[in-house]
């Protein structure tokens, strides 16, 4: 948590995207305080692969005098995806939406976790 009344953009936490709040662009929000809760239902396909549906809920608090492009407040995201095991590692792909954008304008998030 930042305690000063003077903020530079680089002082704020970046939030949004595949690893923090699915359904939004990477680093869509910047805030003085950010929090995330998520619920995910998984259907196991094999020991390391599964399909899932999810609901993410993010909270962003911006400095009082600055509301960076509507960042302040609660932001939900939801969608579905799959994680599957390959020789290279775990591949995770999801289709995520936000209520403001709707299903036709969702985001595709893809990630690769290497087993080192």
How far, in whole angstroms, is CA 2 from its chain's centroid? 22
Domain-by-domain residue ranges, the chain?
A: 9-114
- Measured distance CA(93)–CA(81) in Å, rounded: 6
Q: Does residue 108 surpass a pLDDT of 90?
A: yes
Q: Which residues, in sequence order, are CB contacts of 43 under 8 Å at separation 6+?
A: 50, 51, 52
Per-residue pLDDT tens digits for 32-74:
889 999 999 999 999 999 999 999 999 998 876 665 666 788 9
Per-residue pLDDT tens digits for 71-106:
788 999 999 999 999 988 999 999 999 998 888 899
């Amino acid at each position: 948590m930042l305690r000063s009344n003077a903020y530079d953009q680089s002082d704020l936490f970046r939030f949004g995207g595949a690893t923090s709040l699915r359904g939004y662009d990477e680093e869509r929000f910047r805030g003085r305080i950010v929090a995330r809760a998520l619920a995910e239902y998984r259907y196991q396909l094999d020991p390391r692969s599964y399909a899932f549906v999810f609901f993410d809920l993010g909270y962003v608090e911006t400095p009082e005098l600055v509301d960076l492009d509507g960042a302040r407040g609660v932001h939900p995201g939801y969608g579905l995806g799959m994680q599957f095991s390959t020789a290279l590692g775990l591949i995770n792909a999801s289709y995520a939406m936000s209520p403001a954008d709707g299903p036709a304008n969702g985001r595709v998030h893809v990630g690769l976790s290497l087993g080192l």
